[in-house]
């Protein structure tokens, strides 16, 4: 039998759990500035998604990986830590995983934060680009993802952080990247599901995000029941690392104002 995925995490602070999930192809270290600054308003937990950072990959062939498998691994990890409910913050692919968690276990969400993410599925052109990237990563490793993504990743005021972001991307593994590419390519459209999310939401987007434009966050705000939208001026696709003070200033009051959901035991 395949071994269950081992999810590595770091944590800091006290209070209601706030789980910060990175995007592709990064790891939990992109949230370092939030982990360092927000421990007075929440218990911050920063996992590495399966196959990234120090977490083991999903079992099975890469082509079979689905976004729900990442969500299930995250829920199993939360169960192992005894986290009955938590606020989930997802960056980009981490947001796709967060929306899958919202579909699988809506009652466990105290709040939802989506950073530079979107609810829609890939277009057919987008899927074709994913499969081209998968072929390039299979042949050349993580440098293929760096070449495809890095030139458009950061807002111009933050280009001094290019080397740092490149290093994070390069230290990921081919065996971690491939399943994530297939999972993103096959993820469902979550737009209609947004209206069913009861937890308060916060949407953050860099004004200069050329990977996932801020209009995607505005669209999600229009479909969610209760959502605030904050733009991070000048930032690109990784605002938590490009403009940490602005991101923390948006997260702090949102997180401080959340209450745990009332959990109804099954069968009652």
> Is 23 one of the binding residues for ligand MLT (CB under 6 A)?
yes
Q: Which is nearer to ligand MLT, 184 or 235 (CB)?
A: 184
> Is 161 one of the binding residues for ligand MLT (CB under 6 A)?
no
Please report which residue ranges of the chain form alpha helices under DSSP H.
32-37, 67-80, 93-104, 124-140, 143-149, 162-170, 174-185, 214-223, 239-242, 244-256
> C-beta of 145: minimal distance to ligand MLT in Å?
9
- What φ, ψ does residue 101 adopt, rounded to 5°? -65, -40
> Is 49 one of the binding residues for ligand MLT (CB under 6 A)?
no
Dihedral (Cα; 97, 176, 61, 127), 10-degree rounding: 60
Q: How far apart are CA 29 and CA 144, in angstroms?
A: 21
Q: Do 115 and 137 touch, CB atoms closer than 8 A?
A: no
> C-beta of 49: minimal distance to ligand MLT in Å?
10
> C-beta of 82: minimal distance to ligand MLT in Å?
28
Q: Which is nearer to ligand MLT, 110 or 240 (CB)?
A: 240
> Is 186 one of the binding residues for ligand MLT (CB under 6 A)?
no
Residue nearest to ligand MLT (CB): 23
> Is 184 one of the binding residues for ligand MLT (CB under 6 A)?
yes
> Is 214 one of the binding residues for ligand MLT (CB under 6 A)?
no
> C-beta of 93: minimal distance to ligand MLT in Å?
3
Given 18, 24, 112, 254, the residue binding ligand MLT (CB under 6 A):
24
> C-beta of 237: minimal distance to ligand MLT in Å?
6
> C-beta of 129: minimal distance to ligand MLT in Å?
9
Structure tokens at 42: 């929440």
Q: How far apart are CA 70 and CA 180, in angstroms?
A: 9
Binding residues for ligand MLT, rule CB under 6 A, total 6
Given 6, 161, 211, 248, the residue binding ligand MLT (CB under 6 A):
211
- What count of other Cβ atoms lies within 10 Å of the Cβ of residue 103? 15
Cα–Cα distance list, 163 to 34, 54, 92, 153, 180 (Å): 20, 21, 20, 12, 23
> Is 93 one of the binding residues for ligand MLT (CB under 6 A)?
yes
Q: Do 149 and 211 touch, CB atoms closer than 8 A?
A: yes
Which residues sit at the interface with ligand MLT, rule CB under 6 A?
23-24, 92-93, 184, 211
């Amino acid at each position: 039998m395949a071994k269950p995925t081992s999810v590595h995490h770091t944590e800091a602070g006290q209070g209601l759990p706030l789980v910060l999930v990175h995007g592709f192809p990064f790891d939990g270290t992109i949230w370092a500035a939030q982990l360092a600054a927000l421990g007075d308003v929440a218990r911050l937990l920063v996992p590495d998604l399966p196959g990234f950072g120090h977490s083991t990959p999903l079992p099975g062939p890469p082509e079979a990986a689905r976004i729900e498998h990442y969500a299930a691994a995250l829920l199993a990890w939360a169960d192992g830590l005894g986290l009955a409910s938590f606020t989930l913050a997802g960056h980009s692919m981490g947001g796709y995983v967060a929306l899958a968690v919202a579909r699988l276990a809506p009652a466990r969400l105290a709040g939802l934060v989506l950073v530079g993410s979107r609810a829609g599925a890939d277009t057919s052109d987008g899927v074709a680009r994913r499969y081209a990237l998968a072929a390039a990563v299979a042949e050349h490793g993580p440098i293929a993802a760096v070449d495809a993504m890095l030139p458009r990743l950061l807002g111009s005021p933050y280009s001094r952080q290019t080397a740092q972001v490149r290093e994070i991307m390069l230290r990921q593994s081919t065996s971690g990247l491939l399943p994530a590419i297939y999972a993103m390519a096959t993820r469902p459209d979550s737009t209609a599901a947004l209206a069913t999310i009861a937890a308060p939401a916060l949407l953050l987007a860099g004004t200069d995000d050329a990977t996932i434009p801020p209009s995607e966050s505005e669209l999600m705000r229009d479909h969610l029941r209760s959502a605030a939208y904050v733009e991070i001026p000048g930032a690109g696709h990784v605002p938590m690392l490009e403009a940490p003070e602005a991101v923390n200033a948006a997260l702090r009051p949102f997180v401080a104002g959340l209450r745990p959901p009332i959990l109804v035991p099954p069968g009652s």
